[in-house]
Amino acid sequence: MLPLNVNLERTRLPDKPPDERSDSVASDDDGHQQERSPFTFHQAEGDHPSKDPQRPRADPSGFSLKGRMKGPRLVDDGHNWWSNHDSPSATLFSTVISTCSTGLLLYHMWRFNRFRCLLFRKEDAFRWMVTLALTISVFAVRLEHENTWIARTWNTDPYVSASQLWVSQVLQTYVKYEEYYVYIPKVGIRIKPFQLWAQRYIDLFRTSNWLLVLGVVLLLVVHLEEILFWGYLISTIKAQRAQPWFRSIYFKLWCIGVITCTGVCFGVAGIETENLTRASLRVFGNRSPHVSDIHRRVVTTSDITGANPDVIAKLQFFKSMHNVRTVFRSVYSVALVVMAADGLTAKQKINRKEFWVDMFYTTSV
């Protein structure tokens, strides 16, 4: 049996007449007493009385389950009181993939120019800034993460795909294994809901979410620059003139986009900080199809304008590789959309099942 790492208090059923004990037991057609769910809201200090007019129910088995944080402790009627977290093993799997991706980036930077790309040079200040943002975001948001934070405040636990903030993933894996599973009467062994976590782990998990926001913002900055630069490149080829990037409309749009993304991402993340499942905001906007279309137009325009065959061959290669990348991005995006959309429903048929949560989570990884 797994250890029961939760506060349990021994209680007794009150000595009441049968007609006054309907709050904790019920009778079937044969007159036999049946246990009801022992879970209800435990009112915390400062809560409005109207939110919880009834006292906590007694558990006929002799135990009363209480959480360890302010606010509602548990909700009533068995297993319908939380959306499942991804399991500790699924989080660990994502962390392993994240570590491998981070190692791949470091290896690539070493092979490319022995990390000199991270050194500041005045003539390449913009390129240095973008490279540094990508590097930090990979430590924050594993390689190739396209999940933004604009439109998806889901009632579901963190479901970010193969590019979760590396530091955030390590912290969340640590928290998941420290809290692990718990035996809940009338329900069984379940992943411990955040309402029962120790306060230090709640704070640590909340910190990991803010780190994730920072990583996603930086990665959005890089991806937005990629999209707009390809647009700038094709407009320059068509116009047959080399307009400076920093004076183009595309650079101005990039600056506006950076400010907007930063404000929206941190603003959305700050909407909910108490409920950890809702605070794990996963808002994603995959722009890969648009980038693929830009690649196609760049190749076509370069071919028409008589570009060097080597340039055309390289652009064709980049186009093919980006199309492959788009396919895999679409796969994990679908998995995230399914879980996110289900999190907005009342029944949450997927997010209440451990199998489907882990299946979609690992697929997105």
Under DSSP, the state recorded for 246 is: G
pTM > 0.75: no
* DSSP string across 278-323: HHS-------HHHHHHHHHHHHHHHHHTT--HHHHHHHHHHHHHHH
Nearest CA-CA partner of 229 in 243, 217, 240, 219 = 243
pLDDT of residue 307: 57
| 191 phi-psi bin (left φ>0, alpha ψ -120 to 50, beta other) | beta
184 pairs with which residues across the strands?
A: 188
With 0-12 / 13-18 / 19 or more C-beta atoms within 10 angstroms meaning exposed / middle / buried, residue 221 is: buried
Q: Please tell me whether residue 237 adopts helix, strand or coil conformation.
A: helix
- Residue 195 CB contacts under 8 Å (≥ 6 apart), including other chains: 67, 69, 71, 72, 73, 74, 82
Crossing angle for the helix pair 354-364 and 88-113, to the nearest 10 degrees: 0
Residue 85 has a pLDDT of 64
Break the chain into its structural domains and give their ranges. Answer: 1-81, 88-364
Give the separation between CA 123 and CA 29, rounded to whole angstroms.
Answer: 85
- CA-CA distance, 101 to 90, in Å (whole number)? 17
The sign one gets for the Cα dihedral 192, 178, 212, 95 is negative
Per residue of the chain (365 residues), what is the pLDDT tens digit? 444 444 444 334 344 444 444 444 444 445 544 444 434 434 334 444 334 444 334 333 333 344 333 333 444 334 344 445 677 887 788 788 878 877 887 888 888 888 888 888 888 888 888 888 877 776 654 433 333 222 222 222 333 333 346 777 788 788 888 888 888 787 788 888 777 888 888 888 778 777 777 777 887 788 788 778 877 877 777 776 777 888 888 899 999 988 988 888 777 667 655 555 554 434 333 334 444 455 555 555 555 555 567 767 777 777 777 777 777 777 877 877 787 777 667 777 887 777 887 888 788 76
